[in-house]
Structure 1
Amino acid sequence: MWRPTDPPWRLQNTPGEGALWLSWLVRLRWVALFAQAVTLAFVFKMLHGVGVIAAWFTIMAALGVANAWAVRQLEHGTPNAILAHLLLDVIALTVFFTIGGGPDNPFTPLYLIHIAMAAVMLPPGHSGLLAASVLACYSMLFAFHLPLHYERHSLPEGVLLRFGQWIAFMITSVSIAAFVVGIAATLRRRKEQLLEARDRTARTDRLRSVGTLAAGAAHELNTPLSTISLRIRRVGRRHDDADTSRDVEVMRAQLERCTSIVRRLLVGAGDPDAADIERRPLATLVEEAVRMWSRGATLDVKIDDTSHGVVVELPRIAFQQALINLLENAREAQEAASAFEPLELRILHELDLAVVEVADRGCGLPPEADQVGEPFFTTKPTGTGLGVFVARQVADGAGGGLQLLPRARGTVARWWFPEVPRRSA
C-alpha cells in the first residue's frame, strides 16, 4: 500500500523497474569514465608521480569492469544492487579526489548527482545511507588528500580552477537535468498505466455486478420453472387428446428453452455448478452451436481433415453461446457493409491446438481495435460489449486465446484451445 512518505515511483511495482534504474546507472557511468579520461589527460602533469597515475587507471578499469558486469545483470536491479553500484561510484570519486586535490578539486559537486539518483531510485533507508556515505567521504577529503601541482601546468592556477568549476557545473547540471527529465517521463507512463488499470478494474467490477444480478435472477427463476414443468407433466398425463398433446409439447419445448437460458445466465455469472465442462470433439460442439444459431444467414463451414478427431475440454454451454455471439457479430458486420457473401467458419488443427475461425466480409476492425474484447466496450449502437469478452474468457479459462485479425475485406476471429487426449475405453 502506498504511504505519503514513499517515493512516487513506488505507486506501481513494475517487474522491470530495477532494470530501468540500473540501466540509468550504466549510461551515467560510461559518461563518467569518458569524463575521467579527459580530465586525466588535462591534469596529467599536475599529479604526484607514476603511482598516482597507476591508481587512477586502476579505478577507471574497475569501473569499466563493474559496468560491463551490470549490463549482464540488468534484470537483477534490486535496491541493494543499485545501492552497491552507487556506493562503488562514490568510492571511486573519493579516490579520484583524494589523489587530485581533495576538497579543492572543482569536480566535487559530482557527488550531488549520486545523491539525487539515490533519492529517486531507492527507498528512504537506502538513500539515507548513500547520503551519509557521501558526506563521510567528502569530510575525509579535508584530512587525507594529495594537492595538485598547478605550477607544472602551462595555464595559471586561477584559470585552471575557474575552468574546472565551469566544467563541473556543466556536467552536474546536464546530468541531473537529463536524469530528472527521464524520470518524469517514466512517471507519466506509470500514471497512464495506473489510470488504465483503474479503468479495467472498474469495468470488471461492473461486469461482476451484472453477473451477480444475473445469477440471482437465474436462481429465482429456477423455482417457478420447476413448478411449471411439474404442472405440464401433470396436464400431459390427465389429457391425452391430440390437441392437448400438441400444446403440451410446445410448452415443454419453450420451457426447455427457458431452462437453457437460465443455465447460460448461471454459466456467464461464473456459477461452478452450472459450468458443464465436457471432453468432446471440437467439431461436434461447433456443429451443435451452428444448429442452435438460426438467423437465416448463409454459413460456409469447412472442417480440416486433421481436425475431425480433435478433442477439447470446455464448458459446453458457455462455449456454444460464445460461438453464437461471434457468428452474430460477423453477421451484423456483413449487414452493416451490405455484403451478402456466406460467413466462413473454419475448424483447424495446428500442432497441439484446436482452432475455430469465424470470418466475415464486413468493414474490418475499428480504429479502437485494441479495446475490442474489454467488458462493455462496443462499436455497435445496440451492442452490450460482452460478446467478444465472454468468448475470450472461455478461451482463457481453457488455456487458449482469442485474436481478432484484419483481412483484405472484413475480420477474422481466431479462437484456439489446447487439444486434450481422448479418454481410453
Structure 2
Amino acid sequence: MTLTPLPRWKTHISTGSGRGSDIIFNPDATNRKNLLLLIQLRWLAVAGQVITIAAIEWGFGIRLPLAQMAAVVLSLVGLNLASLLFLRMRRPVSNGVLFASLLLDMAALTAQLYLSGGASNPFVSLYLLQITLGAVLLAPWSTWALVGAASLCFVLLTMAFLPIEMSHHGGNLFDLHIRGMFVCFVLAAGLIVLFMTRINRNLRERDAYLADLRQQSAEEDHIVRMGLLASGAAHELGTPLATISVLLGDWRRSDAVTRNPELLEDVSEMQAQLDRCKRIVSGILMSSGQARGEGSVHTTVRTFLDGLVAEWRDHSSPALLDYTNEFDPDEAIVSDAALKQVIFNVLDNALEASPDWVGITVKRQAQDLVLMVRDRGKGFDKEILAALGKPYMSSKGREGGGLGLFLVVNVIRKLGGTVTARNTGRGACVTLTLPLDTLRA
C-alpha cells in the first residue's frame, strides 16, 4: 500500500516556496452542479411557457400557433432528459457543455418569439437572463459569443416573425404590452436572484475547496522537507552507530569486563539500546522509501492490528491495555511501515496522557476500518481540537512539539481516510477511519 492520493484531475498551485505542487482538484464537480441548475431553470421555463401560452390563448383570446409552440416546449423537455442522462453517464461537464446548453435555450426562446410576434414580444428581454447566466458560468470568450448570438437573434426577429392578430383588442394593446413587460420583468428578476444565489454558493464552495487544497499542499511540502531531513539524519547516524557497536563488542570480550558481572550487564544493556537505535534508524529509512520492498507485507486487518498492538505493548509496557478487535469479516491488506508508525504515534500520545490505562477498539463500518484509541487523561484543549492536524499545536510545552498528530492526519488523509478527536469526559478519544479499498492488496 503506497501513500498515493486518490485519482482525480490535478492542478498546479504555488505554495509560496518557489515551487508549485500538483494537488487534487476536480473542476468538473462545480460544472456538474451548474448544469443541474440549468436543467432546473429549463423545467421552470417549460412550466412558464405552458402557463403563458394558455393564458394568452384562452385568457386574452389571442390566437397562437399552438402546434409549433408545443413542439418547441417538447424539444426543451427532450433536451432536459438528454442532459439528465448525460449527468448519469458521469461524463465531464466542460465549459463547452454549458455553452451549448445556453445556446440551445436561446434557440428555443428565439423560436417561441418568432412564433409570437418577434421583437415586439415583451418577453424578448429574457435574452438578458441567458447572458447573465453565461457571464457567471462561462469563460469570457463563450460569454461574448453568447452576447453576439443574442444580438443576432434580436435583429433577425425584427425582420422575420409571425405576426399576431390583436386588432379586436382595440385601444388596450399598449396596456396589454405593458402587462407583458411587467410579467417578464418579475420573472427575469426572480430567476436571476434565485439562480445567481445558488450559482454563487457553488462558486464559494469551489473557492473554499481550493483554499483547503492549497493548505494541504503546503502541509505536504512541509512533510516532504521533514522526511528528507529525517532520512539524511538516519543515513548520517548509521556510521557512528556501527562504530559504537564494534567498540561495545570489543569491550564485551575484554578481560576487565568479563571479570566484572555488573560492568558486563551494563555493556549488554548498552548493546540492547544500541540495537533499538539501529531499528529506529532502519524504520525511518523504510518509511521514507529507502527500503519500501521490505516495508510492505501481505497480511490481514486482524493479523496486522493484533501484531501491531502486541509489539507496542512489549515496547511501551502500559499499566493496563484494554484492546478489543471487533473487525469482522477479516480483509486481506498490504501493511505499510508508515501506517504502522502513525498508529504507534497515536498510542504513544495516549500512553503519555494516561499512563495507567489505554483503550483500543477496532471495528468495521461498511467498507471502512475504524480504529479508536482512548485514554483517561485531561483531554484535548479547545484550541487543539479546533486546529486538529496543524503543525506545532501541542499542550506539552516542548519546542517543536505537536508534529505527531500533524503527521498522523496527513498520512491518513493521503490514504483517503479521516482523523477525528474528541473529549469524552473521562479523557480523550482519537478515531482513525480508513477506506479498505486503499488498504487491500
Q: TM-score, normalised by structure 1?
A: 0.78
**Greater alpha carbon shift after TM alignment, 409-418 vs 249-258:** 409-418
Structure 2 residue identity aligned to 1:139: V
Structure 2 residue identity aligned to 1:328: D
Against the structure 1 CA distance between its residues 351 and 192, is the aligned structure 2 distance closer, same or farther, given a 3 Å change threshold? closer
Against the structure 1 CA distance between its residues 146 and 275, is the aligned structure 2 distance closer, same or farther, given a 3 Å change threshold? same
Map 1:156-167 to 2 at 5 A: 156-167=172-183
Against the structure 1 CA distance between its residues 347 and 172, is the aligned structure 2 distance closer, same or farther, given a 3 Å change threshold? closer
Structure 1 residue identity aligned to 2:118: G
Q: Is the 8 A contact 2:245 2:274 kept in 1?
A: yes
Quick one: which of 54, 62, 70 aligns to 1:41? 54
Quick one: which of 325, 335, 338 aligns to 1:314? 335
Report how far residue 357 of structure 1 moved: 4.7
Map 1:411-422 to 2 at 5 A: 411=429, 413-414=431-432
Q: Is the 8 A contact 1:101 1:145 kept in 2?
A: yes
Alignment deviations for residues 345-393 of structure 1 (CA, whole Å, 9 cap, x no partner):
3566899988755333456677675853x35264534473343454566
Q: Is the 8 A contact 1:347 1:355 kept in 2?
A: yes
Instruction: Give, in whole Å, the separation in 1 of the partners of 2:152 and 2:208.
Output: 40
Instruction: Give, in whole Å, the separation in 2 of the partners of 1:417 and 1:144.
Output: 62
Report how far residue 253 of structure 1 moved: 1.8
Structure 2 SS opposite 1:358: strand
Quick one: which of 245, 249, 273 aligns to 1:254? 273
Q: Is the 8 A contact 2:30 2:203 kept in 1?
A: no
Structure 2 residue identity aligned to 1:43: I
Report how far residue 236 of structure 1 moved: 2.9
Matched with 2:19 is none
Matched with 1:324 is 344
Alignment deviations for residues 60-113 of structure 1 (CA, whole Å, 9 cap, x no partner):
122123223323433543333323322222122112211211111111111111
Against the structure 1 CA distance between its residues 138 and 225, is the aligned structure 2 distance closer, same or farther, given a 3 Å change threshold? same
Matched with 2:22 is none
Q: Is the 8 A contact 1:289 1:321 kept in 2?
A: no
Map 1:256-405 to 2 at 5 A: 256-272=275-291, 276-279=295-298, 281-282=303-304, 283-294=306-317, 296-302=318-324, 313-315=334-336, 318=338, 321-334=341-354, 342-346=357-361, 357-362=372-377, 372=388, 374=389, 376=391, 378=393, 380-382=395-397, 384-391=401-408, 404=420
Q: Give aligned-pair identity as a percent.
A: 28
Alignment deviations for residues 4-50 of structure 1 (CA, whole Å, 9 cap, x no partner):
xxxxxxxx752322221212212222222233223223432788857
Q: TM-score, normalised by structure 2?
A: 0.76
Structure 2 residue identity aligned to 1:359: R
**Are 2:162 and 1:146 aligned?**
yes
Instruction: Give, in whole Å, the separation in 2 of the partners of 1:19 and 1:305.
Output: 37
Instruction: Give, in whole Å, the separation in 1 of the partners of 2:181 and 2:327.
Output: 79
**Are 2:230 and 1:232 aligned?**
no
Against the structure 1 CA distance between its residues 370 and 154, is the aligned structure 2 distance closer, same or farther, given a 3 Å change threshold? farther
Instruction: Give, in whole Å, the separation in 1 of the partners of 2:280 and 2:373.
Output: 24
Structure 2 SS opposite 1:107: helix
| Structure with bigger RCO (C-alpha 8 Å, 6+ apart) | 2
Q: Is the 8 A contact 2:34 2:137 kept in 1?
A: yes
Structure 1 SS opposite 2:359: strand
Against the structure 1 CA distance between its residues 417 and 382, is the aligned structure 2 distance closer, same or farther, given a 3 Å change threshold? farther
Map 1:43-62 to 2 at 5 A: 43-44=56-57, 52-62=65-75
Q: Is the 8 A contact 1:204 1:375 kept in 2?
A: no
Against the structure 1 CA distance between its residues 66 and 404, is the aligned structure 2 distance closer, same or farther, given a 3 Å change threshold? same
Against the structure 1 CA distance between its residues 154 and 37, is the aligned structure 2 distance closer, same or farther, given a 3 Å change threshold? farther
What is the count of residue pairs matched by the alignment? 402
Alignment deviations for residues 307-344 of structure 1 (CA, whole Å, 9 cap, x no partner):
9x98764245x555434322232234447xxxx6x322
Structure 2 SS opposite 1:235: helix
Map 1:4-19 to 2 at 5 A: 13-19=26-32
Structure 2 SS opposite 1:359: strand
Instruction: Give, in whole Å, the separation in 1 of the partners of 2:421 and 2:12.
Output: 40
RMSD across aligned C-alpha pairs, in angstroms? 3.9
Quick one: which of 190, 193, 207 aligns to 1:177? 193
Unaligned runs of 5+ in 1: 4-11
Structure 2 residue identity aligned to 1:175: L
Report how far residue 58 of structure 1 moved: 1.7
Structure 1 SS opposite 2:402: coil
Structure 1 SS opposite 2:53: helix
Instruction: Give, in whole Å, the separation in 2 of the partners of 1:21 and 1:351.
Output: 32
Alignment deviations for residues 270-309 of structure 1 (CA, whole Å, 9 cap, x no partner):
4345963344643334312210013x532234567989x9
Against the structure 1 CA distance between its residues 139 and 272, is the aligned structure 2 distance closer, same or farther, given a 3 Å change threshold? farther
Quick one: which of 232, 238, 247 aligns to 1:222? 238
Quick one: which of 94, 113, 121 aligns to 2:129? 113
Unaligned runs of 5+ in 2: 1-10, 14-24
Against the structure 1 CA distance between its residues 388 and 155, is the aligned structure 2 distance closer, same or farther, given a 3 Å change threshold? farther
Quick one: which of 98, 102, 107 aligns to 2:114? 98
**Greater alpha carbon shift after TM alignment, 127-136 vs 407-416:** 407-416
Structure 1 SS opposite 2:28: coil
Against the structure 1 CA distance between its residues 248 and 347, is the aligned structure 2 distance closer, same or farther, given a 3 Å change threshold? same
Against the structure 1 CA distance between its residues 194 and 90, is the aligned structure 2 distance closer, same or farther, given a 3 Å change threshold? same
